[in-house]
């Protein structure tokens, strides 16, 4: 595992962004003590103690942006879900990349790209996993939260978990870049907990309501809105 361990840091994503030129492709930047974690849609990712994971995987697939890169969060989501299944849980996915167990969020992913001089310098796939948290320390930011140790009923080895994530991610990464979302579409749909349900999706400062009917070939969410019109959402967050 190519990795960079930080004893304490404000945000692994921010740190990776600042050091992007020095970090090699497929390096895992991680800490167990993150003081100012960031989430999607300008949310925060709180520090729930030093037995949890705060990490950013730095990828440098090419100097030009490709459509498939926007699906990397969904690929990581499947990797995390499969590992959580190995621990005996039944994780579900909330589009695009939240993982929930028993309807409570256990992990979140935040992807950021670094572009300068018209070149993609790298992609930072940040992920936080509530691995070992006391119920009292669990903080619900946008939705109720849980931790893997609570769901499994025993402490989880954080270094072992991180290595599993790294190894599994690297295993199919090249194939994923080549074949795109279709490689994992079935695995994604099998765990999707929002299909055939009425959903409200936040897209920037708008909310779109409708029936979630499909995950398309490229990982977008298709919904039928109240006016019976089909809408394909490439970005957003189910509320």
Q: How is residue 207 written in tokens? A: 């909310």
108 lines the binding site for ligand BTN (CB under 6 A): yes
Question: Which lies closer to ligand BTN via its Cβ, residue 40 or residue 185?
Answer: 40
Among 32, 69, 75, 127, binds ligand BTN (CB under 6 A): 127
11 lines the binding site for ligand BTN (CB under 6 A): yes
| Smallest gap from residue 178 Cβ to ligand BTN (A) | 27
49-88 positions binding ligand BTN, by CB under 6 A? 54-56
Q: By the 8 A CB rule, do 13 and 56 touch? A: yes
Nearest-10 Cα torsion for 90, 93, 97, 101: -40
Stretch that binds ligand BTN, among 32-40, 60-68, 132-140, 144-152 (CB under 6 A): 32-40
Beta-carbon contacts of 182 under 8 Å, excluding residues fewer than 6 positions away, are 217
- Region of residue 134 (phi > 0: left; psi between -120 and 50: alpha; otherwise: beta): beta
DSSP element (H, E) containing 173:
helix 158-179
Question: Which lies closer to ligand BTN via its Cβ, residue 127 or residue 188?
Answer: 127
Among 6, 23, 28, 37, binds ligand BTN (CB under 6 A): 37
How far apart are alpha carbons 237 and 203 in whole angstroms?
7
Stretch that binds ligand BTN, among 6-14, 17-25, 61-69, 115-123 (CB under 6 A): 6-14
17 lines the binding site for ligand BTN (CB under 6 A): no
Name the residue with the smallest CB distance to ligand BTN.
Answer: 108
Nearest-10 Cα torsion for 144, 111, 218, 211: 30
Q: Among all chains, which residue has been given the structure tokens 């705060």?
A: 54
Q: How is residue 212 written in tokens? A: 């979630």
Q: Which residues bind ligand BTN (CB under 6 A)?
A: 11-13, 34, 37-40, 43, 45, 54-56, 98, 108-110, 126-128
């Amino acid at each position: 595992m190519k990795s960079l361990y930080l004893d304490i840091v404000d945000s692994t994503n921010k740190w990776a962004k600042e050091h992007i030129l020095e970090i090699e492709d497929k390096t895992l930047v991680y800490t167990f003590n993150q003081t100012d974690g960031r989430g999607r849609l300008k949310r925060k990712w709180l520090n729930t103690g030093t037995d949890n994971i705060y990490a950013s995987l730095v990828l440098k697939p090419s100097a030009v942006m490709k459509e498939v890169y926007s699906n990397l969060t969904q690929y990581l989501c499947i990797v995390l879900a499969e590992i959580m299944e190995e621990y005996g849980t039944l994780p579900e996915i909330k589009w695009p990349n939240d993982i929930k167990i028993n309807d409570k969020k256990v992990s979140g992913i935040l992807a950021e790209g670094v572009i300068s001089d018209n070149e993609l310098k790298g992609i930072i796939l940040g992920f936080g996993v509530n691995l070992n948290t006391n119920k009292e320390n669990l903080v619900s930011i946008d939705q109720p939260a849980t931790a893997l140790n609570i769901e499994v009923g025993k402490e989880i080895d954080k270094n072992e978990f991180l290595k599993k994530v790294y190894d599994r991610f690297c295993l199919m990464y090249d194939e994923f870049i080549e074949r795109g979302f279709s490689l994992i579409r079935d695995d994604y749909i099998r765990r999707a907990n929002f299909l055939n349900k009425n959903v409200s999706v936040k897209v920037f400062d708008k909310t779109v309501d409708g029936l979630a009917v499909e995950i398309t070939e490229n990982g977008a969410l298709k919904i039928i809105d109240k006016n019976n019109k089909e809408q394909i959402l490439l970005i957003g967050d189910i509320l």
